[in-house]
C-alpha cells in the first residue's frame, strides 16, 4: 500500500542506501572538485566499511547508532565519488598545444552517424595514431562533410581522421540552452570537423560487440519500416516510437506533440518493453513444462528485453523498464513475490550506481516521476468515481493515469520549457490507445519483415494508425487556448510543487494537517514568485545577442524591453525562439520589436538614426555594433 511507503522505511532497505547515495551525487554535482580532498574521502569510505564489517553484530545501542550513521555517511561519500569520476573528469592527455593545431587520430565510431543539414554527426572514441593503447578521451563529437561512405559507417568501425579539435563552447546568450553542459554530462568535451579529404576508413575491422550488433539491427529495422510503405512523417514517428531513432523527426512535428502533452509517446517507454515481453512470453509458453526449460525461457526473455533496450539506444525510460522487467523475470523464476516499490527503488539505485549523471537527465527524471505518481495516486483517483459501464470505466482509468502522470511531470516540464499543454487529457484519451495498437502493429511489421506481402500489409495498417495519431495531434494543437506559454518558475518553486505531492501522500488521512501543510506551501510558492517578480521589475540591462548572420540588441527596463534587430521582427522567428525567448521568459519581459533602421521613442528609450538614448547613456550604432559614448 502507498501508506506503507511513508510510514515504515524498514520495509524498503534499498531506500536507506538510495537516499544518502542520491544526496552524495547531488553534492558531487554542485560542489567544485577542489573543495574536498579526494584521497581523504576514499580513505574515509574504506575505513567506515572496515569498521562496520567488524562491529555490526554488536548489540550495544550507541554503537549501532554510530555504525548506522557511519554507513549512511559512507553512501553519501560513495555518491560524491561516483559523480566525481563521471562528471569532473577532463580529457586525459589533451593539452592546449595539441588543440591549437591539426592532429591525426584514430577514431572508433561509438554511435551511428546522424544526418544534419550540412554534415553527419558522429560520436567517436579517439586515440593517438602512434599510441593505440592510450585513449585520449572516451567520446568526442566529429562532424563529417556529407558523403555516402560516412553515412554507412557502423558502430565499432575505425577511421583515420586529420582534424583540429576544440572544446565545446558555452552558450553565448543569457539563459540559452547550455549545450556544453549537456555534452559534459555524457562525458563529451571536444568536437571537430572533418572535410571529405581529411579522413579514411580502416578496412577489415571486425569487432563484435553487443552495441555494434544492436546499432546494426536498428539500422536494418529502420530500413524495413521504410520498405513497408510508410510515408515520410509517419516513418519518422514510427522510428522514434519503436526504435528510439528520433533523428528524422521534423522540429515542427516534435513541437506539435509537445504542445498537446503527448511528447512522451515519441519516446520508447515501458509500454514498448512490455509489448516485447508479452509477445516473447506468449511465444515461449511451451517452455514452462520443466524447471530447466523455464530457466532457458527466462534467460531468453532477459536477453530479448535488454537487446531491445540496446537497439533503442538505452534511453532512460527504457533502461528503467528493462531493469524492472528483469526483476519480474527473476522473481517469477524463483517464485518470489514482487513489490513494485522494491523494483523501482532497486532499479533506480542500480542505474545511478552505473551512471550517476542520469539523475540530472530530464528523461530519467520524468520517467521515474511518472511511474511513482501512477503507483501512488492512480488507484486513489479511480476510487473517487465508479462508472456503471465497462467502456466508461476504461476511459476513466485511462484519464486517471494521464492525470497523475501529467501533474507529476508538469513542474519539471514547465521549469525546462516554460509551457503547459491545457488539453493534455483530451489528447491522451485518444493517443494512448492508438499508440498501443500502433506498437503492436509496428512490432508485427518488423517481425514479418522476411515476407514482403505480410510486412506491407501490416505496414499499410501502421501507416493509417500513424496518420490518425498525427491528425489528432495537429487538430488539438490548433484549438484555441491549447498551450499556455511563457511560464517562468525556478528550481525552488519546483521543489515546493513537489512538496505538495509529498504532503498529499503523507497527510491524506489527516485533513487538518494536510490543509495546514498545503496552505504553508502555497504561501511559500507565492512568496518566491513575488520576490522574483519584484527582482524582474527592477531589472535594467542592455544585452548584445550573439546570433549568426543577425544583429540584435535588447534594452530591458522594469519588465519591458526594446529589441533592436536587422531581421528579427516577431516571436515566431526561430532565431528569437532559440537565442532570446528563454531570457525573456525568465525575466518576464514584454518585447517591442524595432528594426535597426527605424526611429522609435517611449518613456525610457529613444532611438534617432544611429543614436540610442537609454538610462542616462548614449549608445552609437557603428557597423552593426553598439558603443557607449558616455
Query: Mind giving me the DSSP string for 329-365?
Result: HHHHHTT----HHHHHHHHHHHHHHH-GGGGG-HHHH
pLDDT of residue 41: 60
Q: Which three cell numbers stand for residue 158?
A: 575505425
Q: Which residues of 270-298 are buried (b: 16+ CB within 10 A; e: fewer)?
A: bbbbbbbbeebbeebeebeeeeeeeeebb
What DSSP character marks residue 572?
T
Side-chain-side CA neighbours of 147 within 13 Å: the count stands at 12
pTM: 0.76
Distance of CA 333 to the CA centre of its chain: 33
Measured CA to CA in angstroms, residue 586 lies from 492, 542, 543 at distances of 14, 16, 14
* Residue numbers in the chain where pLDDT is lower than 70: 1-11, 32-68, 87-100, 129-138, 148, 203-210, 268-271, 337-338, 507-514, 533-538, 623-624, 629-630
DSSP 167: E
Residue with cell 527503488: 345
pLDDT of residue 48: 62
Can you state the percent helix, strand and coil of the chain, rounding each to 5? 60, 15, 25
Work out the number of other CB atoms within 10 angstroms of the CB of residue 372.
Answer: 22
Question: pLDDT tens digits, residue range 448-479?
Answer: 877 788 888 888 888 888 888 888 888 888 88
User: What gap in Å lies between CA 343 and CA 19, rounded to an integer?
Assistant: 15
- Long-range contacts (CB closer than 8 Å, 24 or more residues apart) made by 319-323: 319/351, 320/270, 320/347, 320/348, 320/351, 320/364, 320/367, 320/368, 320/371, 321/269, 321/270, 321/272, 321/273, 321/274, 322/273, 323/347, 323/350, 323/351
CA neighbor of 466 nearest in space, from 236, 220, 298, 262:
236
Q: In 3D, which of 613, 596, 610, 609 has the Cα closest to residue 557?
A: 613
- Per the CB < 8 A criterion, the answer to whether 152 and 122 are in contact is no
Return the HEC string of 248-305: CCCHHHHHHHHHCCCHHHHCCCHHHHHHHHHHHHHHCHHHHCCHHHHHHHHHHHHHHH
- In angstroms, the CA 241 to CA 312 distance is 9
Give dist(CA 84, CA 76) in Å, integer.
12
pLDDT reported for residue 2: 44
Amino acid at each position: 500500500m502507498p501508506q506503507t511507503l511513508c510510514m515504515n522505511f524498514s520495509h524498503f532497505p534499498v531506500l536507506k542506501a538510495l537516499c544518502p547515495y542520491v544526496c552524495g551525487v547531488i553534492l558531487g554535482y554542485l560542489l567544485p572538485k577542489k573543495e574536498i580532498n579526494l584521497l581523504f574521502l576514499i580513505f574515509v569510505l574504506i575505513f567506515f566499511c572496515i569498521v562496520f564489517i567488524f562491529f555490526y553484530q554488536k548489540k550495544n545501542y550507541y554503537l549501532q547508532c554510530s555504525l548506522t550513521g557511519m554507513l549512511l555517511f559512507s553512501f553519501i561519500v560513495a555518491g560524491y565519488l561516483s559523480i566525481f569520476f563521471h562528471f569532473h573528469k577532463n580529457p586525459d592527455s589533451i593539452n592546449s598545444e595539441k588543440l591549437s593545431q591539426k592532429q591525426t587520430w584514430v577514431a572508433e565510431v561509438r554511435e551511428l552517424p546522424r544526418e544534419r543539414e550540412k554534415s553527419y554527426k558522429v560520436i567517436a572514441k579517439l586515440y593517438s595514431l602512434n599510441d593505440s593503447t592510450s585513449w585520449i578521451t572516451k567520446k568526442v563529437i566529429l562532424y563529417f562533410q556529407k558523403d555516402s561512405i560516412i553515412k554507412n559507417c557502423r558502430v565499432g568501425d575505425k577511421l583515420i581522421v586529420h582534424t583540429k579539435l576544440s572544446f565545446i563552447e558555452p552558450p553565448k546568450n543569457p539563459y540559452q540552452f547550455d549545450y556544453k553542459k549537456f555534452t559534459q554530462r555524457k562525458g563529451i568535451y571536444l568536437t571537430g570537423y572533418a572535410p571529405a579529404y581529411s579522413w579514411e576508413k580502416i578496412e577489415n575491422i571486425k569487432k563484435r560487440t553487443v552495441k555494434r550488433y544492436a546499432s546494426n539491427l536498428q539500422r536494418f529495422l529502420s530500413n524495413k519500416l521504410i520498405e513497408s510503405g510508410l510515408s515520410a512523417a509517419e516513418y519518422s514517428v514510427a522510428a522514434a516510437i519503436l526504435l528510439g531513432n528520433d533523428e528524422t523527426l521534423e522540429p515542427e512535428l516534435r513541437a506539435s506533440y509537445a504542445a498537446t502533452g503527448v511528447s512522451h509517446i515519441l519516446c520508447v517507454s515501458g509500454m514498448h518493453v512490455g509489448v516485447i515481453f508479452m509477445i516473447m512470453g506468449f511465444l515461449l509458453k511451451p517452455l514452462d513444462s520443466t524447471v530447466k526449460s523455464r530457466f532457458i525461457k527466462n534467460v531468453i526473455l532477459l536477453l530479448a528485453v535488454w537487446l531491445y533496450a540496446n537497439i533503442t539506444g538505452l534511453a532512460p525510460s527504457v533502461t528503467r523498464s528493462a531493469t524492472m522487467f528483469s526483476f519480474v523475470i527473476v522473481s517469477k523464476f524463483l517464485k518470489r513475490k514482487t513489490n513494485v516499490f522494491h523494483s523501482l527503488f532497486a532499479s533506480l539505485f542500480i542505474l545511478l550506481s552505473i551512471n550517476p549523471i542520469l539523475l540530472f537527465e530530464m528523461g530519467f527524471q520524468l520517467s521515474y516521476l511518472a511511474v511513482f505518481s501512477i503507483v501512488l495516486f492512480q488507484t486513489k483517483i479511480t476510487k473517487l468515481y465508479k462508472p456503471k459501464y465497462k467502456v466508461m470505466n476504461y476511459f476513466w482509468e485511462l484519464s486517471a493515469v494521464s492525470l497523475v502522470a501529467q501533474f507529476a511531470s508538469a513542474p519539471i516540464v514547465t521549469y525546462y520549457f516554460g509551457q503547459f499543454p491545457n488539453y493534455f487529457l483530451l489528447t491522451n484519451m485518444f493517443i494512448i490507445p492508438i499508440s498501443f495498437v500502433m506498437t503492436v502493429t509496428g512490432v508485427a511489421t518488423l517481425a514479418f519483415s522476411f515476407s514482403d506481402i505480410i510486412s506491407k500489409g501490416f505496414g499499410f495498417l501502421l501507416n493509417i494508425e500513424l496518420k490518425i495519431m498525427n491528425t489528432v495531434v495537429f487538430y488539438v494543437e490548433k484549438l484555441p487556448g491549447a498551450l499556455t506559454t511563457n511560464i517562468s518558475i525556478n528550481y525552488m518553486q519546483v521543489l515546493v510543487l513537489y512538496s505538495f505531492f509529498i504532503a498529499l501522500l503523507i497527510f491524506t488521512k489527516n485533513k487538518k494537517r494536510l490543509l495546514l501543510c498545503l496552505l504553508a506551501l502555497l504561501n511559500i510558492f507565492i512568496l518566491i514568485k513575488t520576490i522574483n517578480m519584484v527582482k524582474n521589475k527592477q531589472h535594467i540591462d542592455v544585452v548584445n545577442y550573439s546570433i549568426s548572420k543577425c544583429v540584435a540588441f535588447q534594452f530591458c527596463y522594469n519588465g519591458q524591453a526594446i529589441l533592436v534587430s536587422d531581421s528579427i521582427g516577431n516571436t515566431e522567428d526561430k532565431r528569437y525562439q532559440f537565442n532570446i525567448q528563454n531570457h525573456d521568459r525568465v525575466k518576464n519581459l514584454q518585447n517591442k520589436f524595432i528594426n535597426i533602421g527605424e526611429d522609435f521613442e517611449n518613456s525610457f528609450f529613444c532611438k534617432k538614426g544611429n543614436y540610442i538614448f537609454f538610462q542616462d547613456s548614449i549608445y552609437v550604432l557603428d557597423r552593426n555594433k553598439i558603443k557607449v559614448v558616455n
